[in-house]
Structures are given as structure tokens and as C-alpha cells.
């Protein structure tokens, strides 16, 4: 999802409203996000549209994700990198109608950062923890709620949302994890299948210990962004997605007739 940074911190100084967040019965929702610095984010998309437009798209997709997920009944975190971007993330958190706590991502490889966040090592109390990225702004909120609800039940330990590129758009856990992230070929089309095979090898049963939810998309390349723009043209009744559609048009121009 993003690059290494400093250890995760959850002190109140990182929360724009002093630390209070929505009640979620111990459940947590985290959004991993990299700062939208041109040339340092969405590099695969930037190869097609340029560094500046790609960075602007990244920021606007993050904003749409946070707006839409503000209705989720859980403690909500933006886990950001790099750590010096804290003021920028606090600023956008203040623009959102739901409360979000901004925390620096833990250091180390992606798998280590995900494991630490999902383990709840920095949480005040244990509970179901869901982690998503900011590359799926029109993600199905019902699938997100379903994942939290399913994981909250006794005996259930892991949930995955497969992504169309072979990774996952959502991952959730409760309790200790087997080493499913070790030596993972991140960015490849094997990430999801390897994760599932490692869970099974550890003795976890699909539908009992772990399950999947609705497959969705990650927006990393121009073709995926064009698919998103088609879906936005067809969506109705979601103010955050309508705003995102307008922002993408301002950045990239109207979608071509062939795209729509």
C-alpha cells in the first residue's frame, strides 16, 4: 500500500478534535494512505497522466474514501506516511464530517506494518480491525459493514476483500495471525491466493475461521481509473462520489466517449 515510516502513535495530539472518536464496540477501521506528493505517489498512474494530476487524483480519492467511511460504526483512523506529512492529514481530517484519528504508520515492510496494525498492538482494547487503502473510493460500504459484523462474532478471525488485480481491497483480523504476510510478492497477482493458501496451511477453515467479502477494484493505472469514471457517471445519490466525479473532470478533463 505505502512505504515505511515511523512507529505508529495514537496519542490525542494526532486527533483534530482532541481524541474522541465514534463508538464501535472495540472495532477499528483504518485507512492506509501516502501523502499526495507529486512524483512520490500513484507512480503507475503518473506514467500515463503526469505526476501532478496523479497526485491530485490520489488526494481526491482519499477524501472521497474518508467521507464515505465516516458512517461506519467503528473507531476510525487514517494511518499515514511519511510522518512529516502529519499537518496535511490533520487538515483533511478536519474537513470530514466524521471523526478520524490521524496516526503515523509503523515502520518496516508492508507486511509488518499491516500485521502490527491488524494485531491491535496500539489499540486501547482488542477487537475486530479492518484495514483498507485509499485506492477504492467507491468501495461497497455494505461489504465493509458486513466484514466488521462477521469478524466481531466469537471464533471468527480473518476476513478478506479480493481485488481485481489479484490483491485485496480490504483485510481484517481479530487476534493473533499466522505468518501469512512473510515474503509476500506485494503488487503481484498472487497476493490474495497466497494469503488464502497460507491461512489454510495454518489450519484455518474458510467460512469458519476466515471468509471473503465482495471483490472490488484498486485504482493504480489509467485503465482502472477510466473504469472508475464510468462507474461514477452511472452512480447516483452519493454526494462524495459526485464530488469526486467533478474533481476528476477538473483534473483530467471530461471522460472520452469511448471511455463512457
pLDDT value at residue 117: 87
Question: For residue 17, what are the contacts with CB-CB under 8 A and spacing of at least 6?
Answer: 99
Which cell numbers hold the place of 103? 496516526
Helix (H, G, I), strand (E, B) or coil at 44: helix
Do 139 and 132 form a contact (C-beta atoms < 8 A)?
yes
Question: For residue 222, what are the contacts with CB-CB under 8 A and spacing of at least 6?
Answer: 45, 48, 49
Output the pTM of the full model: 0.86
The domains located in the chain, with CATH, are 12-251 (3.90.550.10)
Helices (H), 153-221: 191-201
Helix (H, G, I), strand (E, B) or coil at 221: coil
How many of the other CB atoms lie within 10 Å of CB of 64?
A: 26
Which cell numbers hold the place of 41? 505517489
pLDDT value at residue 198: 96
Residue 75 pairs in a beta bridge with 28
pLDDT value at residue 99: 87
How many of the other CB atoms lie within 10 Å of CB of 142?
A: 10
Alpha-carbon distance values, 214 to 31, 144, 252 (Å) = 18, 9, 29
Tens digit of each residue's pLDDT, the chain (260 residues): 433 333 333 333 333 333 333 334 579 999 999 999 999 999 999 999 999 999 999 999 999 999 999 999 999 999 999 999 999 999 999 888 778 999 998 788 899 989 988 886 555 555 799 999 999 999 999 999 999 999 999 999 999 999 998 999 999 999 888 999 999 999 899 999 999 999 999 999 999 999 999 999 889 899 999 999 999 988 778 999 999 999 999 999 998 755 55
pLDDT value at residue 22: 37
Element (H, E) at 169: strand 168-173
Amino acid at each position: 500500500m505505502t512505504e515505511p515510516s515511523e512507529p505508529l502513535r495514537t496519542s490525542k495530539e494526532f486527533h483534530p478534535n482532541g481524541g474522541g472518536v465514534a463508538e464501535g464496540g472495540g472495532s477499528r477501521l483504518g485507512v492506509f494512505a501516502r501523502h499526495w506528493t507529486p512524483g512520490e505517489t500513484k507512480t503507475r498512474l503518473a506514467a500515463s497522466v503526469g505526476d501532478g494530476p496523479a497526485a491530485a487524483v490520489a488526494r481526491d480519492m482519499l477524501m472521497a474514501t474518508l467521507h464515505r467511511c465516516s458512517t461506519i460504526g467503528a473507531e476510525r483512523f487514517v494511518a499515514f506516511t511519511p510522518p512529516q506529512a502529519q499537518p496535511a492529514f490533520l487538515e483533511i481530517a478536519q474537513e470530514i464530517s466524521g471523526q478520524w484519528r490521524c496516526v503515523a504508520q509503523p515502520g518496516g515492510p508492508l507486511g509488518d506494518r499491516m500485521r502490527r496494525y491488524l494485531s491491535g498492538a496500539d489499540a486501547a482494547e482488542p477487537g475486530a480491525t479492518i484495514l483498507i487503502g485509499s485506492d477504492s473510493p467507491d468501495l461497497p460500504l455494505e461489504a465493509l459493514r458486513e466484514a466488521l459484523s462477521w469478524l466481531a462474532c466469537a471464533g471468527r478471525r480473518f476476513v478478506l476483500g479480493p481485488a481485481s488485480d489479484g490483491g485485496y481491497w480490504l483485510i481484517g483480523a481479530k487476534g493473533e495471525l499466522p505468518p501469512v504476510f512473510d515474503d509476500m510478492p506485494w503488487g503481484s497477482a498472487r497476493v490474495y491466493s497466497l494469503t488464502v493458501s497460507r491461512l489454510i496451511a495454518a489450519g484455518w477453515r474458510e467460512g469458519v475461521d476466515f471468509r471473503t467479502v465482495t471483490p472490488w477494484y484498486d485504482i493504480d493505472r489509467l485503465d482502472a481509473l477510466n473504469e472508475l469514471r464510468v462507474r461514477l457517471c452511472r452512480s447516483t445519490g452519493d454526494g462524495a462520489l459526485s464530488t469526486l466525479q467533478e474533481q476528476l473532470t477538473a483534473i483530467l478533463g471530461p471522460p472520452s466517449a469511448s471511455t463512457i
